[in-house]
Amino acid sequence: MIQRIQSIYLIVIIIINVVASFFFKTIDQLVNIIESFAFEYLVVFILVILLSFWTLFSYKNRSLQSKLGMTIFVLNSVVLGFLAYTLLTLPGEFNFSQKGIWIIIPFISIVCIVLALRGIKRDDELVKSADRFR
């Protein structure tokens, strides 16, 4: 059901992570320290994309959708932590426009997944209230 609000949030997560996985090589060229972590970040971005697709199309099973959403939340939190650690351990001056702009991608994904989880919970409560009237 693409017309639900959580579907739109999940599509935003997919788009953001696809952009991040395509342009991750430019991050790698900007910062030499991330070279050792580039493959791991790429794998996590692709895993988040796949889990988001699975969450998007499992709209009939709201409990599974909610569990997958929490998994996406945890993965993005781990990536955010690793990117913040990498950003803080970079040598040289702190030029945020070159070194730290990519830390916003997992943060936006976290905000979108929290909003999607809120929409899933709202749908679940709506179905439970309709079942009480029957």
Q: Which domain, by its residues, includes 120?
A: 5-133
Quick one: pLDDT at residue 33? 43
Quick one: pLDDT at residue 114? 92
Helix (H, G, I), strand (E, B) or coil at 18: helix
Give CA torsion, residues 43, 45, 48, 52, to 10 deg. -130
pLDDT digits (tens, 9 = 90+) for 58-99: 888 888 999 999 999 999 888 888 777 777 776 665 555 555
Closest listed residue to residue 30, CA positions, set 77, 86, 82: 86
Quick one: pLDDT at residue 17? 81
Quick one: pLDDT at residue 30? 45
> CA-to-CA distance for 45 and 27, rounded, in angstroms?
14
Quick one: pLDDT at residue 16? 86
Structural domain tally of the chain? 1
> CA-to-CA distance for 58 and 55, rounded, in angstroms?
5
